[in-house]
Structure 1
Amino acid sequence: MSIQRIGVGPRMSKAVVHGDTVYLAGQVADKAAGKSVAEQTSDILGIIDSLLAEAGTDKTKLLMVNIWLADMATFAEMNGVWDKWIVAGATPGRATVEAKLAAPQFTVEIAVIAAK
């Protein structure tokens, strides 16, 4: 089976497609770094939409999502954006945990696995 890599960098690829499965690396806010959790979540979900489209799939095919929050007190704020984005009836498995992220301007990181 072939492997397709999208957004290849020196340490990681933004997405990897193997067979009918798409793996996205943890995504952080590009444009909304340092802004509110809601703004960062919205930015990240837009990035995820774009990467999934480039890989030939979309959010209706999500299998698993991992979300890291710098502060679990922002869980409801993140979910407010998530709930408007996710497709009813196509909700993935999901885990959300509090973690120290790579840089202080990032308060949310999201990684997904999707089917094609």
Structure 2
Amino acid sequence: MTNIIRIDQNARRSRASVFGDLVFLAGQVADDKSGDITQQTREALAKVDDMLAQAGTERSRLLSVQIWLKSMDDFAAMNAVYDAWVVPGQAPTRACGRVELAHPDYLIEVIAIAAR
């Protein structure tokens, strides 16, 4: 039986779970909720990088990314940051939609699955 590794776990969630060669990230949001979409996207993606590193992988191994936006008006600005962040030739599958996020000041949340 393959063990499940849980990273940064509390009573409610793990920020990442590893099963075999797959890494599942919980939603990553900016700690600084006062920033605009560019700043919050950079911070959320930096947290994705950090969690991937803790799980023994990195962004070129991403398989799937889900992006939730508070407003689709932020789509172009978010994409400008995201497109510069994705490893050329290694773009994962991706979905993006508008949702009501857990805190009214969050503008973006990023969920990801990667291979190790």
Q: Residue 27 of structure 1 aligns to which amino acid in structure 2?
A: Q
Q: Superposition pairs for residues 15-94 of structure 1, below 5 Å? A: 15-30=16-31, 32-94=32-94
Gaps of 5+ in 1: none
Q: Which residue of 2 aligns with 1:105?
A: 105
Q: Residue 30 of structure 2 aligns to which amino acid in structure 1?
A: A
The runs of at least 4 consecutive aligned structure 1 residues that moved more than 6 Å come to none
Q: Residue 84 of structure 1 aligns to which amino acid in structure 2?
A: A
TM-score computed with the length of structure 1 as normaliser: 0.97
Cα deviation, residue 34, structure 1: 2.2
Separation of aligned partners in 1, 2:72 and 2:44: 18
Separation of aligned partners in 2, 1:25 and 1:109: 9
Q: Alpha carbon RMSD of aligned pairs, Å?
A: 0.6
Cα deviation, residue 3, structure 1: 0.5
Q: Residue 49 of structure 1 aligns to which amino acid in structure 2?
A: D
The percentage of counterpart residues that share the same residue type is 45
Separation of aligned partners in 1, 2:3 and 2:55: 13
Separation of aligned partners in 2, 1:105 and 1:35: 9
Cα deviation, residue 10, structure 1: 1.5
Cα deviation, residue 9, structure 1: 1.3
The 3-state SS of whatever aligns with 1:75 is helix
Cα deviation, residue 105, structure 1: 1.2
Separation of aligned partners in 2, 1:9 and 1:111: 18
Q: Residue 36 of structure 1 aligns to which amino acid in structure 2?
A: D
The 3-state SS of whatever aligns with 2:28 is coil
Equivalent pairs, count: 115
Q: Which residue of 1 aligns with 2:115?
A: 115
